Amino acid sequence: MIIDESKQDTKLPAILKAAVRLFVERGVASTTIRDIAKEAKVAEGTLYRHYDSKEKLASDILQKNLATFTEFMDRKAFEKKDLSSRLRGLAEAFTEAYEDNQDVARFVLFSHASELGRLPKDMRQPRHVILDVLKDAIASGEVAAGTDRDLLQAMILGALGRVLLAKAHGEIRGDLRSKNADIAGTLQNMVGGA
């Protein structure tokens, strides 16, 4: 979980961890400030020193972790040179992020779509990374010129998100990282047909 270094020695890490766990289990709407404070073993006033509402707390958690995940995706995809390897990097980013911190990954996955309209317009998001991968692939001839990048990006992001959703609901068993080659191969088949 992303926590400002200056806040490491405060009650904030416990608050954030408790909030994420409760938001995933109950949803933001069904979680109260009192619930979060109790779970974090802090007074409600301590929580209010950091956030004036659970909605601002949820938004902050989402934005900071989404930004960090997007940077991670960028690194994983663009440390590679060709489309096939970059698709593998995208698969690795999603599976590693999920397996390394399932609560945060589930919170970002489940709340991202509903919060999309409230995110800052200039915020770089996972879709931008995929669009950049596709732009380079079109420029290099790995993807046909004239391909609808927005549509293909949505399909790739949808496929990756659905894998995480299936894992979260027990439809896929085992560590997702062991499935990176299969996921990347499926993405390559999607892109190859574009």
Which of 11, 36, 52 is at the close of a domain?
Answer: 52
What CATH number did the domain enclosing 7 receive?
1.10.10.60
Taking 70 as the threshold, does the pLDDT of residue 157 lie above it?
yes
Measuring CA to CA, how many Å separate 164 from each of 6, 91, 174, 175? 32, 11, 12, 11
- The rounded mean pLDDT for the chain is 91
Helices and strands: H and E segment counts in the chain:
9, 0
Query: Are 122 and 160 found together in one domain?
Result: yes
Mean pLDDT of the 152-159 span? 96
Q: For residue range 14-35, list pLDDT tens digits in order.
A: 999 999 999 999 989 999 999 9
Residue 146's CATH number: 1.10.357.10
Domain holding 31, by residue range, is 1-52
Q: Are 130 and 182 found together in one domain?
A: yes
| Chain segment 99-151, per-residue pLDDT in tens | 999 999 999 988 877 777 888 899 999 999 999 999 999 999 999 999 999 99
Reading the block at residue 31, the tokens are: 């979680």
The secondary element (H helix, E strand) that includes residue 62 is helix 54-78
Tokens of 104: 């945060």
The reported pLDDT for the residue numbered 7 is: 52
**Residue of 194 and 173 predicted with greater confidence:** 173
Amino acid, single-letter form, for residue 27:
G
Looking at 52, 72, 95, the residue that finishes a domain is 52
Same domain assignment for residues 41 and 128: no
